[in-house]
């Protein structure tokens, strides 16, 4: 199969970080993570992973890989929980990249929508073509016309992994409020950190990736502040990124234990869940 070229220092390159992180975790922590799909996709890309591997196999780099693999696990848990109550719901991956969560949660009844920018969806269509009851949609999340494409008649669970850091806060607020209006009874789940964490990410993750044209803006000190954004939010809750859904604290070494404690206490790394009010509420 012809490999797909990924250009350095482009938005497309941001796809590599979480994808390769999942592969590294499958190799280094097989008892916690098994992701053969990540290996298949990496093998199909024309991209020199050697530099990424060296960085991700350092103690700090490996923790970054743990973060992205654990994040996918957390968001998958939320999608599966929603589908138990709404088995025919729409499962919407906002800023999907090369994430295959829908195939992991597909119960045979739900519908999947994977949304990202056109150049990303072009690559995704070659590597992860849409399956049955699934669509890959090219769009800009800040152009809310994409919402017309989502069939949420039986409920909807939206999730975003590492997406909103690149949005201005006012755009995030506008997006969340419109979603609450358009998708009553739905749920939105995403990862967040505080301003300190966002600043660190700009200096480390993106810099080390050689990415210079992506800026991070959104951060969240206290998830409950979201309740002041919109009256249609029925509830806002948050869990620890690394310990809230599956506690891996005792499965890692001392350095990574310290990093988990740092991320929980000082940068407020959380998985945030917003439930939208029903129409009649």
Q: Let me know: does 90 contact 146? Beta carbons within 8 Å.
A: no
The answer to whether residues 179 and 188 touch, using CB atoms and an 8 Å cutoff, is yes
Neighbours of 195 (CB within 10 A): 13
- Which residues are 179's β-sheet partners? none
Residue 274's Cβ-side half-sphere holds a number of Cα atoms within 13 Å equal to: 28
Tokens matching residue 147: 């919402």
Q: Measured between alpha carbons, how far is 161 from 68 in angstroms, rounded to an integer? A: 8
Domain 77-276 annotated CATH 3.40.50.150? yes
pLDDT reported for residue 10: 72
Contact status, residue 225 vs residue 24, Cβ threshold 8 Å: no
Residue 270, strand partner residues: 192, 240
Of the candidates 270, 68, 111, 249, which has an alpha carbon nearest to the alpha carbon of residue 189? 270
Q: Specify the pLDDT at position 117.
A: 92
Using an 8 Å Cβ cutoff, are 269 and 263 in contact?
yes
Q: Say which residue the tokens 């039986």 belong to.
A: 154
Kindly give the residue spans of alpha helices, DSSP state H, lying in the chain.
16-28, 36-43, 50-56, 59-85, 101-105, 118-127, 169-182, 195-203, 205-208, 254-265
How does 62-100 read in b/e, with b if 16+ C-beta sit within 10 Å? bbbbbbbbbbbbbbbbbbebbbeebeebbbbbbbbbbbb
The phi, psi pair for 134, rounded to 5°, reads: -140, 145
Contacts of 243 (CB under 8 A, 6+ apart): 249, 260, 264
Residue pLDDT tens, the chain, 281 long = 578 888 777 767 778 889 999 999 999 999 999 999 999 999 999 998 988 899 888 999 999 999 999 999 999 999 999 999 999 999 999 999 999 999 999 999 999 999 999 988 998 999 999 999 999 999 999 999 999 999 999 999 999 998 998 888 899 999 999 999 999 999 999 999 998 887 777 666 555 555 554 444 788 999 999 999 988 999 999 999 999 999 999 999 999 999 999 999 999 999 999 999 997 54
pLDDT at res. 260: 96
The reported pTM is: 0.92
Q: Would you state the pLDDT for residue 212? A: 52
Q: Can you read off the two tokens belonging to residue 38?
A: 């990540």
Q: What is the DSSP letter of 30?
A: T
Q: CA geometry: angle at 208 spanning 124 and 172, to 5°?
A: 60
Which pair of tokens denotes residue 64?
């970054």
pLDDT, position 51? 84
Sorted by where each begins, the domain ranges of the chain are 77-276
Q: How many CA atoms lie within 13 A of 179 on its CB side?
A: 28
- The residue count of the chain comes to 281
- Rounded Cα distance between 45 and 49, Å, is 10
């Amino acid at each position: 199969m012809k490999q797909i070229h990924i250009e350095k220092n482009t938005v497309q390159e941001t796809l590599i970080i979480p994808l390769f992180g999942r592969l590294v975790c499958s190799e280094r922590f097989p008892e916690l993570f098994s992701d053969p799909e990540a290996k298949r996709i990496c093998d199909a890309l024309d991209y020199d992973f050697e530099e990424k591997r060296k960085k991700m196999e350092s103690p700090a780099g490996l923790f970054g890989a743990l973060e992205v693999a654990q994040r996918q696990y957390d968001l998958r848990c939320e999608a599966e929980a929603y589908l138990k109550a709404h088995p025919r719901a729409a499962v919407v991956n906002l800023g999907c990249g090369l994430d295959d969560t829908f195939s992991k949660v597909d119960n045979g009844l739900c519908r999947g929508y994977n949304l990202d920018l056109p150049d990303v969806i072009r690559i995704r269509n070659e590597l992860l073509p849409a399956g049955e009851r699934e669509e890959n949609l090219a769009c800009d999340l800040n152009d809310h016309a994409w919402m017309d494409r989502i069939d949420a008649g039986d409920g909807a669970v939206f999730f975003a992994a590492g997406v909103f850091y690149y949005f201005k806060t006012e755009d995030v607020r506008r997006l969340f409020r419109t979603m609450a209006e358009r998708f009553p009874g739905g749920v939105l789940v995403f990862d967040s950190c505080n301003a300190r964490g966002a600043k660190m990410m700009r200096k480390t993750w993106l810099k080390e990736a050689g990415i210079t044209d992506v800026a991070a803006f959104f951060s969240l000190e206290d998830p409950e502040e979201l309740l002041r954004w919109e009256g249609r939010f029925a509830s806002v809750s948050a869990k620890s990124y690394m310990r809230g859904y599956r506690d891996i604290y005792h499965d890692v070494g001392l350095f990574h234990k310290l990093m988990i404690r740092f991320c929980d206490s000082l940068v407020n790394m959380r998985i945030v869940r917003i439930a939208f009010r029903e129409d009649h509420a």
